[in-house]
Amino acid sequence: MTDLNRNLAPEFNPIKQVTLLPYEKIVLNNATPHYILKQTGSGVCKIEWIFDAGFVYQSKPLLAYFTNQMLENGTKTKSNSEFNAALDALGSYLELHCDQDTAMVTLYSLTKFTKESILLIYEMLSNPAFSEDEFERYKQQQIQEYLIQSQKVSFQARRLFSNKYFGASHPYAVSSEISDFKAINVLDIKDFFKQRYTHALKMVFSSGDLPESIHEFVQSFTFPSTNTLINNIPAPDFTPGQHWHLMPDKIQCALRVGMPWVNRSHPDYFHLQFLNMLFGGYFGSRLMSNIREDKGYTYGIGSSVQHYKHHSFLIISTEVDASYSNNTIKEIKHEIQLLQNERCKLQEIETVRNFLLGNLLRQMDGIFNQSDVYKTLLLSELSNNYYQSFANHLYQINTERIQQLAQKYFSFENLVVCGAGKV
């Protein structure tokens, strides 16, 4: 038996082939595509209904989120508790999600009870109760949650960044006030549901250990679907520079720093993902090495790319002791300048490449993860060989390319710096 040398990292095997399971596409009677990704043996499946019902479609703040979350609060024939008890009895689980562009209803079900579980979802989507009592109870809960969250520096920094980056009136700027809770009522919810759920089903995605008759089950959900997309989203009206939300009673300061970025279909995107990862995208990144490990300003700092249908941006997030806030901003800018002025080392490139390739494999692990990958591809209108192209581009990256991208895309002129806390 060979002794294991724990001082040596495990050997990394190059990844040349990224394989996705094939899916079947069938068009429903209402012209909505139904994507089916099968893998037998687990006894569990997932069905997702995706609607064009995100924040960008709402006429009032909170409307999209409230409508989405209120769906599980009972139907016209089942109370809140009765509906959820019926799901529990089948071993099913429901997730509701709403973001800037879409709203999702996700059902996890035992294969043997898929039909019964889907029928419950159909009842929810065709006859939601939206009762006045449940709505008022939910609204009061959300108000209390808002009051709690609004005391946190991270909440105020995120809110400030949204306003300063997009502009307060932009459809992507989500910054609710207490008055917005009071302005919304159950009639607004019912109207939004009618507009965006009964007429804006975008796609259905079924995955896992699916029954043979899955399409037949899904087919019975045939609300009319119309092309009601919003395509004239304006460019962000961002305000570069530093902006502060003062909270003198706090000992910490939350920082959000961002700039425009490219979307997934842009020719530079793959290499920019590499640049972001090296800069602040994982625990071994430059931001973490400098600001956490070397300076000790924070427990954690990172950068990520946020993708909406009509805009993408890079954002850096951290929380620091208030006395370190200005120094942290200086160090963030310093790391940007280093990438622009100096070429990184080959070992650093190899480390980041291996991390990204390993992360890519983790994204593909399991049928539900693969369904999420396909969902990203379909919603972003990308080809099925997208991730194979990503892997190929990772092997082409070099130090010169990284420096060129840093010079091209890291712009101090478009840098929006927002902080909340004691300054």
pLDDT in tens, 400-422: 999 999 999 999 999 999 999 98
| pLDDT band for position 232 (cuts 50, 70, 90) | confident
Answer yes or no: is pLDDT of 230 > 80.
no
Instruction: Report which DSSP code applies to 159.
Output: H
**Helix or strand run (H / E) with residue 196:** helix 186-196
Return the pLDDT at 31: 85
Question: What per-residue confidence (pLDDT) applies to 168?
Answer: 86
User: Could you tell me the domains of the chain?
Assistant: 24-219 (3.30.830.10), 241-421 (3.30.830.10)
Q: How confident is the model at residue 77 (pLDDT cuts 50, 70, 90)?
A: very high
Are residues 48 and 105 in contact, defined by beta-carbon separation less than 8 angstroms? yes
Average pLDDT over all residues of the chain: 92
Q: What is the pLDDT of residues 168-179, one digit of tens each?
A: 889 898 778 899
Closest CA to 16 of 412, 391, 418: 391
The residue whose two tokens read 């080809």 is 383
Residue 2 scores a pLDDT above 70 = no
pLDDT digits (tens, 9 = 90+) for 126-156: 999 999 999 999 999 999 999 999 999 999 9
pLDDT, tens digit (0-9, with 9 covering 90-100), for 257-314: 999 999 999 999 999 999 999 999 999 999 999 999 999 999 999 999 999 999 999 9
Measure the CA–CA gap between 281 and 279, rounded to whole angstroms.
6
Integer CA distances (angstroms), 135 to 131, 184, 269, 328, in order: 6, 10, 43, 43
CA distances from 322 to 137, 174, 242, 417 (A): 38, 26, 15, 15
Question: What average pLDDT score do residues 117-124 get?
Answer: 94
Q: Are 246 and 419 in contact (CB under 8 A)?
A: no
**Between residues 227 and 131, which one has the greater pLDDT?**
131
pLDDT of residue 19: 84
pLDDT at 13: 67
